[in-house]
Amino acid sequence: MTGREGFDPPPYPYDRLDELRAIADGHDGGCVDLSVGTPTDPPPPFTADVLSRSDAERGYPFSIGSPAFRDAAAGWVKRRLDAEVDPSCLAACIGTKELVAGLPHWLHLRTPWRDTVLYPAISYPSYAMGATLAGCRAVPIATRPDGTLDLPSVDPDDARRALCLWVNSPSNPTGELDDLGAAAAWGRANDVTVFSDECYAEFTWDGRPRTILEHGTDGVVAVHSISKRNNLAGIRAGFYAGDHTVVSFLREVRKHAGFMDPGPVQALAAAAWADDEHVDQQREIYRRRLARLRSILAAVGAAAPMPRGGFYLWVLAPGGDAWAFARRMASELGMLVSPGEFYGDSARDHVRIAAVRPDDRIDLLERRCRG
Protein backbone atom coordinates (compact mmCIF):
# COMPACT_ATOMS: atom_id res chain seq x y z
CA MET A 1 0.00 0.00 0.00
CA THR A 2 1.76 3.15 -1.20
CA GLY A 3 0.86 6.77 -1.89
CA ARG A 4 -2.88 7.28 -2.20
CA GLU A 5 -3.68 3.63 -2.81
CA GLY A 6 -6.11 1.97 -0.43
CA PHE A 7 -6.11 -1.55 0.93
CA ASP A 8 -7.04 -4.22 -1.59
CA PRO A 9 -7.91 -7.43 0.31
CA PRO A 10 -6.12 -10.49 -1.07
CA PRO A 11 -8.16 -13.55 -2.02
CA TYR A 12 -9.22 -15.53 1.03
CA PRO A 13 -6.87 -18.54 1.01
CA TYR A 14 -9.46 -21.30 0.92
CA ASP A 15 -11.37 -19.62 -1.91
CA ARG A 16 -8.36 -20.44 -4.08
CA LEU A 17 -9.25 -24.13 -3.85
CA ASP A 18 -12.45 -23.86 -5.93
CA GLU A 19 -10.84 -25.40 -9.04
CA LEU A 20 -9.48 -28.37 -7.11
CA ARG A 21 -12.81 -28.80 -5.33
CA ALA A 22 -14.52 -29.12 -8.71
CA ILE A 23 -12.03 -31.82 -9.72
CA ALA A 24 -12.58 -33.72 -6.47
CA ASP A 25 -16.35 -33.44 -6.85
CA GLY A 26 -16.06 -35.40 -10.08
CA HIS A 27 -15.53 -38.61 -8.13
CA ASP A 28 -18.44 -40.89 -7.29
CA GLY A 29 -19.39 -39.78 -3.80
CA GLY A 30 -17.99 -36.31 -4.32
CA CYS A 31 -15.22 -34.32 -2.67
CA VAL A 32 -13.80 -35.34 0.70
CA ASP A 33 -12.87 -31.92 2.03
CA LEU A 34 -9.89 -32.08 4.37
CA SER A 35 -8.73 -28.54 3.60
CA VAL A 36 -10.34 -26.68 6.52
CA GLY A 37 -10.37 -27.61 10.21
CA THR A 38 -14.15 -27.42 10.54
CA PRO A 39 -15.46 -29.94 13.10
CA THR A 40 -18.13 -32.26 11.71
CA ASP A 41 -18.76 -34.52 14.72
CA PRO A 42 -21.68 -33.95 17.10
CA PRO A 43 -21.39 -31.25 19.76
CA PRO A 44 -22.05 -32.08 23.43
CA PRO A 45 -25.49 -33.65 23.94
CA PHE A 46 -26.66 -30.80 26.16
CA THR A 47 -26.13 -28.13 23.48
CA ALA A 48 -29.69 -27.59 22.28
CA ASP A 49 -31.16 -27.75 25.77
CA VAL A 50 -28.80 -25.13 27.21
CA LEU A 51 -29.32 -22.77 24.28
CA SER A 52 -33.10 -23.04 24.53
CA ARG A 53 -33.33 -22.74 28.32
CA SER A 54 -30.72 -20.09 29.14
CA ASP A 55 -33.31 -17.31 29.56
CA ALA A 56 -30.58 -14.93 28.41
CA GLU A 57 -32.08 -13.72 25.15
CA ARG A 58 -33.69 -10.43 26.09
CA GLY A 59 -31.09 -8.43 27.96
CA TYR A 60 -27.71 -7.25 26.71
CA PRO A 61 -25.05 -9.83 27.55
CA PHE A 62 -21.84 -9.18 29.49
CA SER A 63 -19.13 -8.04 27.08
CA ILE A 64 -16.47 -9.54 29.34
CA GLY A 65 -18.42 -12.77 29.82
CA SER A 66 -20.93 -13.63 32.52
CA PRO A 67 -19.64 -14.60 35.98
CA ALA A 68 -20.66 -18.19 35.21
CA PHE A 69 -18.73 -18.12 31.92
CA ARG A 70 -15.56 -16.73 33.52
CA ASP A 71 -15.73 -19.06 36.52
CA ALA A 72 -16.20 -22.08 34.26
CA ALA A 73 -13.32 -21.07 31.99
CA ALA A 74 -10.98 -20.46 34.93
CA GLY A 75 -12.03 -23.80 36.41
CA TRP A 76 -11.22 -25.54 33.12
CA VAL A 77 -7.74 -23.95 33.07
CA LYS A 78 -7.11 -25.31 36.56
CA ARG A 79 -8.63 -28.74 35.95
CA ARG A 80 -7.25 -29.54 32.51
CA LEU A 81 -4.12 -27.39 32.24
CA ASP A 82 -3.06 -27.32 35.89
CA ALA A 83 -2.62 -23.54 35.91
CA GLU A 84 -4.14 -20.72 37.93
CA VAL A 85 -5.92 -17.69 36.52
CA ASP A 86 -8.25 -15.40 38.41
CA PRO A 87 -11.63 -14.90 36.68
CA SER A 88 -11.00 -11.15 36.90
CA CYS A 89 -8.04 -11.69 34.54
CA LEU A 90 -10.17 -13.53 31.97
CA ALA A 91 -12.69 -12.27 29.40
CA ALA A 92 -14.86 -13.63 26.61
CA CYS A 93 -14.33 -13.18 22.89
CA ILE A 94 -16.51 -14.01 19.91
CA GLY A 95 -14.52 -17.05 18.94
CA THR A 96 -10.79 -16.44 18.85
CA LYS A 97 -10.31 -15.46 15.20
CA GLU A 98 -11.86 -12.02 15.72
CA LEU A 99 -9.55 -11.48 18.68
CA VAL A 100 -6.47 -12.59 16.73
CA ALA A 101 -7.31 -10.38 13.75
CA GLY A 102 -8.35 -7.36 15.83
CA LEU A 103 -5.68 -7.47 18.52
CA PRO A 104 -3.01 -5.36 16.73
CA HIS A 105 -5.53 -2.55 16.30
CA TRP A 106 -6.35 -2.49 20.01
CA LEU A 107 -2.71 -2.78 21.09
CA HIS A 108 -1.61 -0.05 18.69
CA LEU A 109 -4.12 2.30 20.34
CA ARG A 110 -2.48 1.52 23.67
CA THR A 111 1.14 1.93 22.50
CA PRO A 112 1.10 3.89 19.21
CA TRP A 113 4.91 4.12 19.16
CA ARG A 114 4.98 0.35 18.53
CA ASP A 115 3.90 -1.01 15.15
CA THR A 116 5.07 -4.62 14.78
CA VAL A 117 3.48 -8.03 15.26
CA LEU A 118 5.88 -10.96 15.65
CA TYR A 119 4.49 -14.36 14.71
CA PRO A 120 5.65 -17.85 13.60
CA ALA A 121 6.80 -17.94 9.97
CA ILE A 122 4.63 -21.03 9.39
CA SER A 123 1.29 -20.36 11.03
CA TYR A 124 -2.40 -19.60 10.90
CA PRO A 125 -2.69 -16.68 8.45
CA SER A 126 -4.71 -14.40 10.75
CA TYR A 127 -1.67 -13.43 12.84
CA ALA A 128 -0.10 -11.66 9.89
CA MET A 129 -3.42 -10.42 8.49
CA GLY A 130 -4.30 -8.83 11.83
CA ALA A 131 -1.17 -6.70 11.59
CA THR A 132 -1.98 -5.75 7.99
CA LEU A 133 -5.55 -4.76 8.86
CA ALA A 134 -4.23 -2.50 11.63
CA GLY A 135 -1.72 -0.83 9.30
CA CYS A 136 1.13 -2.45 11.20
CA ARG A 137 4.17 -4.54 10.28
CA ALA A 138 3.93 -8.33 10.30
CA VAL A 139 7.36 -9.85 11.00
CA PRO A 140 7.68 -13.65 10.80
CA ILE A 141 10.00 -15.61 13.10
CA ALA A 142 11.66 -18.78 11.88
CA THR A 143 11.31 -22.04 13.77
CA ARG A 144 14.07 -24.43 14.75
CA PRO A 145 14.07 -28.07 13.57
CA ASP A 146 12.35 -29.07 16.85
CA GLY A 147 9.42 -26.76 16.06
CA THR A 148 10.21 -24.09 18.66
CA LEU A 149 10.50 -20.43 17.72
CA ASP A 150 14.02 -19.19 17.07
CA LEU A 151 13.59 -16.20 19.39
CA PRO A 152 17.31 -15.29 19.52
CA SER A 153 17.05 -14.56 15.78
CA VAL A 154 14.59 -11.69 16.32
CA ASP A 155 16.13 -8.40 15.27
CA PRO A 156 16.48 -6.14 18.35
CA ASP A 157 14.80 -3.29 16.47
CA ASP A 158 11.80 -5.51 15.71
CA ALA A 159 11.64 -6.47 19.39
CA ARG A 160 11.66 -2.80 20.45
CA ARG A 161 8.82 -2.05 18.01
CA ALA A 162 6.76 -5.14 18.84
CA LEU A 163 3.17 -4.80 19.98
CA CYS A 164 3.09 -8.50 20.72
CA LEU A 165 4.56 -11.90 19.99
CA TRP A 166 2.20 -14.67 18.91
CA VAL A 167 2.98 -18.28 19.75
CA ASN A 168 0.77 -21.21 18.77
CA SER A 169 1.10 -24.56 20.48
CA PRO A 170 0.05 -27.10 19.32
CA SER A 171 0.72 -25.39 16.02
CA ASN A 172 -1.74 -24.96 13.21
CA PRO A 173 -0.62 -26.24 10.70
CA THR A 174 2.48 -28.18 11.77
CA GLY A 175 1.29 -29.82 15.00
CA GLU A 176 4.57 -28.89 16.71
CA LEU A 177 4.77 -27.89 20.39
CA ASP A 178 6.56 -24.67 21.25
CA ASP A 179 8.57 -23.96 24.40
CA LEU A 180 6.04 -21.73 26.12
CA GLY A 181 8.28 -21.10 29.11
CA ALA A 182 11.03 -19.80 26.83
CA ALA A 183 8.52 -17.59 25.00
CA ALA A 184 7.27 -16.11 28.27
CA ALA A 185 10.83 -15.42 29.43
CA TRP A 186 11.75 -13.78 26.11
CA GLY A 187 8.69 -11.56 26.24
CA ARG A 188 9.46 -10.40 29.77
CA ALA A 189 13.11 -9.76 28.95
CA ASN A 190 12.12 -7.66 25.91
CA ASP A 191 9.00 -5.99 27.34
CA VAL A 192 6.81 -7.64 24.70
CA THR A 193 3.44 -9.15 25.59
CA VAL A 194 3.24 -12.78 24.50
CA PHE A 195 -0.13 -14.04 23.23
CA SER A 196 -0.33 -17.82 23.25
CA ASP A 197 -2.93 -19.38 20.94
CA GLU A 198 -3.68 -22.70 22.61
CA CYS A 199 -6.94 -23.68 20.92
CA TYR A 200 -5.70 -27.22 20.18
CA ALA A 201 -4.33 -27.87 23.68
CA GLU A 202 -6.85 -30.64 24.43
CA PHE A 203 -5.50 -32.52 21.40
CA THR A 204 -1.91 -32.82 22.59
CA TRP A 205 -0.49 -36.25 21.73
CA ASP A 206 3.03 -35.82 23.09
CA GLY A 207 2.58 -35.54 26.84
CA ARG A 208 0.00 -33.46 28.67
CA PRO A 209 -1.73 -30.27 27.47
CA ARG A 210 0.36 -27.16 28.13
CA THR A 211 -0.42 -23.49 28.65
CA ILE A 212 1.78 -20.43 28.92
CA LEU A 213 -0.12 -19.61 32.13
CA GLU A 214 1.88 -22.36 33.87
CA HIS A 215 4.78 -19.91 33.77
CA GLY A 216 2.92 -17.09 35.51
CA THR A 217 0.60 -14.46 34.11
CA ASP A 218 2.95 -11.47 34.03
CA GLY A 219 3.31 -10.30 30.41
CA VAL A 220 1.44 -13.23 28.86
CA VAL A 221 -2.11 -13.90 27.64
CA ALA A 222 -3.49 -17.33 26.71
CA VAL A 223 -6.27 -17.66 24.11
CA HIS A 224 -8.75 -20.56 24.08
CA SER A 225 -11.93 -21.58 22.29
CA ILE A 226 -14.74 -24.15 22.40
CA SER A 227 -14.72 -24.39 18.58
CA LYS A 228 -12.38 -27.37 18.36
CA ARG A 229 -12.58 -29.04 21.78
CA ASN A 230 -16.40 -29.17 21.79
CA ASN A 231 -17.24 -29.18 18.04
CA LEU A 232 -18.91 -25.79 18.50
CA ALA A 233 -17.19 -23.66 15.87
CA GLY A 234 -20.56 -22.23 14.82
CA ILE A 235 -21.25 -20.93 18.33
CA ARG A 236 -18.25 -18.52 18.29
CA ALA A 237 -17.12 -18.47 21.90
CA GLY A 238 -13.66 -18.26 23.41
CA PHE A 239 -11.69 -16.39 26.02
CA TYR A 240 -8.39 -14.66 26.66
CA ALA A 241 -6.71 -14.74 30.08
CA GLY A 242 -3.49 -13.71 31.76
CA ASP A 243 -1.74 -10.43 32.50
CA HIS A 244 -4.14 -8.27 34.53
CA THR A 245 -3.15 -4.96 32.94
CA VAL A 246 -3.36 -6.21 29.36
CA VAL A 247 -6.62 -8.11 29.88
CA SER A 248 -8.19 -5.12 31.66
CA PHE A 249 -7.28 -2.82 28.76
CA LEU A 250 -8.70 -5.20 26.16
CA ARG A 251 -11.86 -5.73 28.19
CA GLU A 252 -12.53 -2.01 28.34
CA VAL A 253 -11.87 -1.13 24.69
CA ARG A 254 -13.91 -4.11 23.55
CA LYS A 255 -16.83 -2.93 25.71
CA HIS A 256 -16.78 0.41 23.90
CA ALA A 257 -16.68 -1.35 20.52
CA GLY A 258 -19.67 -3.54 21.40
CA PHE A 259 -17.99 -6.94 21.24
CA MET A 260 -20.15 -9.41 23.16
CA ASP A 261 -21.14 -13.04 22.92
CA PRO A 262 -24.92 -13.55 22.95
CA GLY A 263 -26.30 -14.56 26.34
CA PRO A 264 -27.38 -18.09 25.27
CA VAL A 265 -23.92 -18.62 23.76
CA GLN A 266 -22.28 -17.65 27.05
CA ALA A 267 -24.52 -20.10 28.89
CA LEU A 268 -23.57 -22.89 26.50
CA ALA A 269 -19.88 -22.02 26.73
CA ALA A 270 -20.01 -22.21 30.53
CA ALA A 271 -21.49 -25.70 30.25
CA ALA A 272 -18.94 -26.68 27.62
CA TRP A 273 -15.94 -25.61 29.72
CA ALA A 274 -17.28 -27.85 32.48
CA ASP A 275 -17.57 -30.90 30.19
CA ASP A 276 -14.58 -33.24 29.85
CA GLU A 277 -16.17 -36.56 28.88
CA HIS A 278 -17.23 -35.39 25.42
CA VAL A 279 -13.75 -33.98 24.77
CA ASP A 280 -12.03 -37.21 25.81
CA GLN A 281 -14.22 -39.13 23.37
CA GLN A 282 -13.40 -36.67 20.60
CA ARG A 283 -9.67 -37.04 21.30
CA GLU A 284 -9.83 -40.74 20.51
CA ILE A 285 -11.82 -40.10 17.34
CA TYR A 286 -9.15 -37.73 16.05
CA ARG A 287 -6.34 -40.07 17.06
CA ARG A 288 -7.88 -42.91 15.04
CA ARG A 289 -8.54 -40.69 12.03
CA LEU A 290 -5.00 -39.38 11.98
CA ALA A 291 -3.71 -42.96 11.90
CA ARG A 292 -6.06 -43.91 9.06
CA LEU A 293 -5.13 -40.87 6.98
CA ARG A 294 -1.43 -41.54 7.52
CA SER A 295 -1.93 -45.03 6.05
CA ILE A 296 -3.77 -43.61 3.01
CA LEU A 297 -0.98 -41.12 2.38
CA ALA A 298 1.69 -43.79 2.75
CA ALA A 299 -0.09 -45.78 0.04
CA VAL A 300 0.30 -42.86 -2.39
CA GLY A 301 3.96 -42.30 -1.50
CA ALA A 302 3.66 -39.41 0.95
CA ALA A 303 5.18 -39.68 4.42
CA ALA A 304 2.88 -38.18 7.06
CA PRO A 305 4.41 -38.11 10.55
CA MET A 306 2.08 -38.17 13.54
CA PRO A 307 1.77 -34.60 14.85
CA ARG A 308 2.74 -33.84 18.44
CA GLY A 309 -0.60 -32.07 18.77
CA GLY A 310 -3.67 -30.93 16.86
CA PHE A 311 -5.71 -32.81 14.28
CA TYR A 312 -3.76 -31.89 11.15
CA LEU A 313 -1.20 -33.85 9.17
CA TRP A 314 1.65 -31.69 7.88
CA VAL A 315 2.91 -33.50 4.82
CA LEU A 316 5.99 -32.87 2.69
CA ALA A 317 4.72 -32.99 -0.88
CA PRO A 318 6.54 -35.58 -3.02
CA GLY A 319 8.73 -33.58 -5.36
CA GLY A 320 8.33 -30.47 -3.21
CA ASP A 321 5.43 -28.98 -5.20
CA ALA A 322 2.45 -28.59 -2.86
CA TRP A 323 -0.02 -27.40 -5.49
CA ALA A 324 0.89 -30.28 -7.80
CA PHE A 325 0.38 -32.77 -4.97
CA ALA A 326 -2.93 -31.13 -3.98
CA ARG A 327 -4.10 -31.45 -7.59
CA ARG A 328 -3.01 -35.08 -7.66
CA MET A 329 -4.97 -35.84 -4.48
CA ALA A 330 -8.06 -34.16 -5.91
CA SER A 331 -7.71 -36.08 -9.18
CA GLU A 332 -6.81 -39.52 -7.80
CA LEU A 333 -8.68 -39.65 -4.49
CA GLY A 334 -11.19 -36.80 -4.56
CA MET A 335 -9.42 -35.42 -1.48
CA LEU A 336 -9.17 -31.66 -1.01
CA VAL A 337 -6.12 -30.48 0.96
CA SER A 338 -4.53 -27.09 1.69
CA PRO A 339 -1.21 -26.11 0.06
CA GLY A 340 1.33 -24.96 2.60
CA GLU A 341 1.75 -21.47 1.15
CA PHE A 342 -1.54 -20.58 2.89
CA TYR A 343 0.50 -20.73 6.11
CA GLY A 344 3.66 -18.92 5.03
CA ASP A 345 6.06 -18.55 2.13
CA SER A 346 8.52 -21.00 3.68
CA ALA A 347 5.88 -23.77 3.67
CA ARG A 348 5.35 -24.04 -0.09
CA ASP A 349 6.58 -27.63 -0.16
CA HIS A 350 4.00 -28.96 2.33
CA VAL A 351 0.26 -29.57 2.44
CA ARG A 352 -2.05 -29.57 5.47
CA ILE A 353 -4.66 -32.29 5.86
CA ALA A 354 -7.41 -31.96 8.49
CA ALA A 355 -8.72 -35.16 10.10
CA VAL A 356 -12.20 -33.71 10.51
CA ARG A 357 -14.45 -35.64 8.18
CA PRO A 358 -16.67 -38.48 9.49
CA ASP A 359 -15.36 -42.02 9.29
CA ASP A 360 -17.58 -42.94 6.36
CA ARG A 361 -15.80 -40.29 4.26
CA ILE A 362 -12.42 -41.75 5.23
CA ASP A 363 -13.82 -45.17 4.30
CA LEU A 364 -14.47 -43.68 0.85
CA LEU A 365 -10.87 -42.48 0.56
CA GLU A 366 -9.61 -45.95 1.50
CA ARG A 367 -11.75 -47.57 -1.19
CA ARG A 368 -10.52 -45.08 -3.79
CA CYS A 369 -6.95 -45.68 -2.70
CA ARG A 370 -7.35 -49.42 -3.26
CA GLY A 371 -8.50 -48.64 -6.77
Which region holds residue 344: left if phi is over 0, alpha if psi is between -120 and 50, else beta?
left
Confidence of residue 3 (pLDDT cuts 50, 70, 90): low
Confidence of residue 371 (pLDDT cuts 50, 70, 90): confident
pLDDT in the model for residue 5: 78
Q: Which of 191, 220, 190, 222 is nearest to 209 (CA)?
A: 222
Does pTM surpass 0.85?
A: yes
* Residue 369 CA: distances (Å) to CA of 172, 174, 303, 362: 27, 25, 15, 10
Query: Is the CA virtual torsion 151, 152, 153, 159 positive or negative?
Result: positive
Angstrom distance (rounded) from CA 282 to CA 189 = 39
Burial of residue 158, with CB atoms counted within 10 A of its CB: 0-12 exposed, 13-18 middle, 19 or more buried: middle
The segment(s) of the chain belonging to CATH 3.40.640.10 are 47-273
Confidence of residue 1 (pLDDT cuts 50, 70, 90): very low
Angstrom distance (rounded) from CA 216 to CA 245 = 14
The segment(s) of the chain belonging to CATH 3.90.1150.10 are 13-42+278-370
User: To the nearest whole number, what is the mean pLDDT of the chain?
Assistant: 96
| pLDDT value at 156 more than 80 | yes
CATH classification code of 47-273: 3.40.640.10
CB 191 within 8 A of CB 113: no
- Determine whether domain 13-42+278-370 maps to CATH 3.90.1150.10: yes
CA 70 remoteness from chain centre: 21
Considering only residues 5 and 139, tell me which one the structure prediction assigns the higher pLDDT: 139
Averaged over 116-145, what is the pLDDT?
A: 96
| Segment among 52-66, 151-165, 174-188, 218-232 with least mean pLDDT | 52-66
pLDDT tens for each residue of 192-220 = 999 999 999 999 999 999 999 999 999 99
pLDDT in the model for residue 279: 96
CB 126 within 8 A of CB 101: yes
